[in-house]
Amino acid sequence: MDVLREFLADVKRHGYARGNLLGMLHLSIGRQIKAADGAILSRGLTRRELADLLKKARWNPDAVLELGLDPAALPPRDRQRYWYQVIAQVRVDSAQATEAGDRLAQVLNSAGYQIGTAPGTVS
């Protein structure tokens, strides 16, 4: 999990997911992520694991505004529950999420990461 925290910290620091939170959620849950050297960082996370990582990474809770969610309507004190609710509400398995994930995958591929294809697609 530490390598995933570092991955999320890198994504956050460089702003790769700015404006594409849905794509980041989709990639984190549904795709394999490798480092530039081919080391596997993730084979896909559960919603709960991703919520915990977002909490630990101190991801900006106002980022949910781009998803059309109201931060005030989500659990304010429990950040893991907050992110879990976000993930549950945004349909990370939708065609829109897959397209957002593809866009973010291109950005991350150019940054040196290797992102797998979406579940159910042929590479």
Helix 79-89 / helix 21-30 crossing angle, nearest 10 deg: 90
Residue 122 confidence (pLDDT) above 80? no
Q: What is the pLDDT, as a whole number, of residue 118?
A: 83
Q: What is the pLDDT, as a whole number, of residue 62?
A: 94
Summarised one tens digit per residue, pLDDT across range 10-46 is 999 999 999 999 999 999 999 999 999 999 999 999 9
Report the chain's mean pLDDT, rounded to a whole number: 92
Q: Give the amino acid at 90.
A: V
Which one, of 105, 48, 102, lies nearest residue 80 by Cα? 48
Domain boundaries, the chain: 2-114
Q: Are 80 and 52 in contact (CB under 8 A)?
A: yes
Q: Compute the average pLDDT of residues 1-7.
A: 85
Burial (0-12, 13-18, 19+ Cβ within 10 Å), 34: middle
Q: What is the pLDDT, as a whole number, of residue 76?
A: 84
